[in-house]
Amino acid sequence: MRSAMRPHGIRAQQREQTRQALLREGRRLFAGSGYGAVGLAEIVQAAGVTKGALYHHFTGKADLFRAVLEESQQEVARRVAVAADVHDDPWARLTAGCEEFLTATADPDIQRIMLVDGPAVLGWSEWRAMDEAASARHLADALSLLIDGGIIPPQPVAPLVHLLSGAMNEAALWLASSSDPADLDHTKAALARLLGALRTG
């Protein structure tokens, strides 16, 4: 019984390896050249697979990009969660998570995939839905906790989430065009002042 199942397990492992190779090389090429400059032939050649193998996993280049974007968003969300979870104090968790978002998105590869090509390739509505699924929920949870604890005045959470998320995305885009390394620290300081204004006292 076990030996009969083994070939199926090997095939599943090979399929997953193929998918990971496509994601890895797709991400490298999209980040390096931009979505528009990368062709399917270049991706499959870099991954060492056939176009048929790519179409087995993805419907085309846009679908592969969507998976690369989702992977990048989840990576940033994990980094934010790790930075926040170091702290027990809810306010420190919020500020550390927001600062880590800016640090993570200062990576040029993340900037191009998440903030430049993401909305352009998938459209604003789909990009926003993916962005919310990846990170907005965590921000909403952090803000809700602060409101419940009386650290932030009672108010609807959704507008605050969108305002802060939009501000941080815009700051990350601005940092992408900046040539001054000090701008990241200046932006974090400005963010700290912005967040500080939310506190009750």
**pLDDT of 97 above 60:** yes
Q: Indicate the range of 8-12, 122-126, 152-156, 185-189 predicted with least confidence.
A: 8-12
Using 50, 70 and 90 to split pLDDT, how confident is the model at 10? confident
Q: Is 151 exposed, middle or buried (0-12, 13-18, 19+ CB in 10 A)?
A: middle
CA distance linking residue 77 with residue 104, whole number of Å: 9
Residues 6+ apart with CB under 8 A from 126: none
CA distance linking residue 80 with residue 85, whole number of Å: 9
* Of residues 142 and 177, more confidently modeled: 142
Residues 6+ apart with CB under 8 A from 131: 73, 118, 165, 169
Q: Where are the alpha helices (DSSP H) in the chain?
A: 2-33, 40-47, 51-57, 61-85, 90-104, 108-110, 118-122, 124-131, 137-148, 157-177, 182-196
**Which tokens hold the place of 94?**
């919020």
Looking up tokens 């300081």 gives 189
Using 50, 70 and 90 to split pLDDT, how confident is the model at 13? confident
Q: Indicate the range of 20-24, 27-31, 90-94, 133-137 predicted with least confidence.
A: 133-137
What is the reported pLDDT for 63? 97
Using 50, 70 and 90 to split pLDDT, how confident is the model at 1? very low
**Which tokens hold the place of 75?**
């990576």
CA distance linking residue 169 with residue 1, whole number of Å: 53
Instruction: Indicate whether this model's pTM tops 0.75.
Output: yes
